[in-house]
Amino acid sequence: MSDTTPSGGGDASASSEAGEENRAEERPPGPDGLPVLGNTFAFLDDPLAFWTRTAREHGPVAYYELGTEPFFQLSDPDLVQQVLVHDNERYRKGELFMAALEPPLGNGLLTSEGSFWRRQRHAIQPAFAPDRLDAYADAMVDRATAETAGWSDGEVRNVHDDMMSLTVEVAAEALFGVDVTEFEDAVSDALGAVMDHVERRSRRPVDVPVWLPTPGNRRYRRALATLEEVADAVVDRQLAAADSDGATDGERPERTDEPADAGPGPNVVRLLRESDEADASREQLRDEVVTLLLAGHETTALTLTYACHQLGRHPEVAERLRAEVDDVLGDRDPTVADLAELDYTERVVKETMRLYPPVHELLREPTEDVTLGGYRIPAGSTVSFQQWVLHRDPAVYDAPTEFRPERWTEELTDSMPAFSYFPFGGGPRRCVGDRFAMMEARLVLATLARDWTFDPLGDLSFAPSITLRPDGPVEMRVERR
C-alpha cells in the first residue's frame, strides 16, 4: 500500500444554520459506488488512499458503502471533537469494532462499554498516574539495552520484530511485574495472528466464518488459545503474589496507595483485585491482561519502528537527534530526569506519530440519530475518522507528507485545532496509557540512537488493520556507533 498524499478537512462551520437545516435530510456527498459492492474495490485496493481521496473530494462529511455497510467519514477536527468529547455519551464503539476485537480481548478496557467500562478504567487508572510512571523507566531502558545486546554491527534485522519483542517485555514487566521472555515467541506469534485475522476481515466485504477449518482460521484459533494460556499464567502468578502478601481465598487484600511488591509499579491485576468497584473475576482479569499486552506494546512498537526508519531516511534528523542524546547522556543510560532535556527526541516521536499514526482510524456508532456538519446520521450507522487524513491536513501542516520534527513548535501547537493531532484518541476514552507510551518511546529511542544507526533496505508499505501495521518485514542494516 502506498504512502499517499492527504487531503485537507473542510470547515464544519462554513455553512449557515439555515443551510445546515436544509441539508439535514440529505445524504452527504461521497464517491460513486457499484450496486451491492459499493466502494469495496476502491477501498480494498488502498484504504489509506481511499480515505484521503474521499476527504479531499467530498469535504468534512462524506458517505460511502463497503459492501452493504454504510459509512460516514469525518475529516474535520471540530466534528471529531464533537463525537469524542462533547457528545461522547451519544456514541459507542459499535458492531464492526466489537466483531473484530471482542473474540481476542473479551470484555477488556478497550472493548467494554458503559458503567462497567468506567469501573474498570477507574480501577486501572492508578497504574498510569503521572507520579507512578518513574517506576517504569528502568524496565524500559533495561529491556532496550538487552534487546540490542544481541545485535551485530552491520547485520540486517527486521526491526519491527525487534521492537515488538522489546515492547511486549516492557508491558509485561511494568504493568504485571512478570518476565514473559519464556512466552515471548508464542505471544508475538499469537498477537501477529490476531492482527492478521483482523486485517483480513476488515478488508473483505464478506469473510469466511471463523468456525470453518481454513488455515487462517486454524492459526487464529490457536492464537486465541495461546493468549488465553499466557494470560492465565500471568494471572496465576499475580494471584499467588497477592496471597503471599496476606490475602486468603475469597478475600481481597486491603487497598493501599503503595505499589504492589510484584512489579515496579502498581500491578494491574492487583489493582483490579483490590478495587471495591471492579468485578474482578478471573475471566475479567484475563481479558485485561490480554488487552493491555496488545494495546500496551503494539502501538509503541510501531512508533519505534517507523521512527528508526525515518532516521535512516533523513540523515540530518538523525544527526541532530544523536547530538542531543550525546550532549544529554554521554555514555550513560537515559532516566526520567533526562526527558525534559530530550526535546528533539520528543519531536521525533511526535512527528513519527503524526506521519504514521499507529492508530490510524477510529470508529463510533451513534446510539440515537445525530447531526454532524448539518447532516443527519441515523442511529446504528458507522461513523469513521482517520488520524491518517487529519494528521496530514495541508490546512494545518506545511508540507504535510514530509518528515519534519522541527515543525513541532509552540506556535504550531497553539494555533492548530485540538483534533488535528490525536494519536491517542480523545475524550473520556483517550488511551489510558498515553503517558506511559510517550515515556517509553522517548527513553527507548534515546537508548537506540546513543548506540546504533539505521539504514532501511526498503520503503514503508502498510497493511492497515486495527493499527497501521507494516506490510511485511521492515528490514534495516544496523551499525554500531
pLDDT band at 204 (very low <50, low <70, confident <90, very high): low
First vs last C-alpha separation in the chain: 33
Cα-based distances in Å from 187 to 111, 237, 284:
20, 17, 19
The answer to whether residue 55 scores a pLDDT higher than 90 is yes
134 CB-near residues (< 8 Å, 6+ apart): 336
The answer to whether residue 421 scores a pLDDT higher than 80 is yes
pLDDT band at 366 (very low <50, low <70, confident <90, very high): very high
pLDDT at position 282: 81
C-alpha–C-alpha distance, residues 359 and 387, integer Å: 7
pLDDT at position 461: 96
pLDDT band at 179 (very low <50, low <70, confident <90, very high): confident
Averaged pLDDT of the chain: 86
Least confident of 115-124, 162-171, 229-238, 459-468: 229-238
Q: Which CATH number is correct for 1-98+366-422, 3.40.50.720, 1.20.140.10, 1.10.630.10, 1.10.357.10?
A: 1.10.630.10
Beta bridge partners of 453: 479
Give the tens place of pLDDT for each residue, 403-414.
999 999 999 999
Residue whose cell numbers read 500500500: 1
Whose CA is closest to 389, among 58, 7, 81?
A: 7
Cα-based distances in Å from 286 to 105, 106, 178, 241:
9, 9, 14, 16
Q: What is the mean pLDDT of residues 246-263?
A: 41
The answer to whether residue 244 scores a pLDDT higher than 70 is no
Show me where the domains of the chain are located. Answer: 1-98+366-422, 106-359+429-481
Give the tens place of pLDDT for each residue, 322-340.
999 999 999 999 999 999 9
Q: Select the more confidently predicted residue: 316 or 278.
A: 316
pLDDT at position 21: 53
Tell which CATH architecture fits domain 106-359+429-481: Orthogonal Bundle (1.10)
260 CB-near residues (< 8 Å, 6+ apart): 177, 241, 242, 266, 267, 270, 271
Least confident of 121-125, 314-318, 368-372: 121-125
42 CB-near residues (< 8 Å, 6+ apart): 31, 50
Q: What is the mean pLDDT of residues 305-312?
A: 98
Q: What is the mean pLDDT of residues 335-351?
A: 97
pLDDT band at 253 (very low <50, low <70, confident <90, very high): very low
Q: Are strands 69-74 and 382-385 parallel, antiparallel or unpaired?
A: parallel
Whose CA is closest to 392, among 403, 379, 377, 380?
A: 403
Q: Select the more confidently predicted residue: 360 or 262.
A: 360
pLDDT at position 36: 83
Pairs from 406-411 (Cβ < 8 Å, separation ≥ 24): 406/347, 407/351, 408/346, 408/347, 408/350, 408/351
Fold identical between 1-98+366-422 and 106-359+429-481? yes
Cell numbers placing 83: 463525537
C-alpha–C-alpha distance, residues 234 and 251, integer Å: 19
Q: Select the more confidently predicted residue: 112 or 95.
A: 112
Whose CA is closest to 266, among 134, 442, 431, 424?
A: 134
Least confident of 179-188, 240-249, 416-425: 240-249
Cβ neighbour number for residue 255 with a 10 Å cutoff: 12
C-alpha–C-alpha distance, residues 53 and 417, integer Å: 21
Q: What is the mean pLDDT of residues 434-460?
A: 97
pLDDT at position 96: 77
pLDDT at position 31: 96
474 CB-near residues (< 8 Å, 6+ apart): 158, 159, 160, 305, 309, 456, 458, 460
Q: What is the mean pLDDT of residues 14-37?
A: 72
Single-letter residue type at 102: E
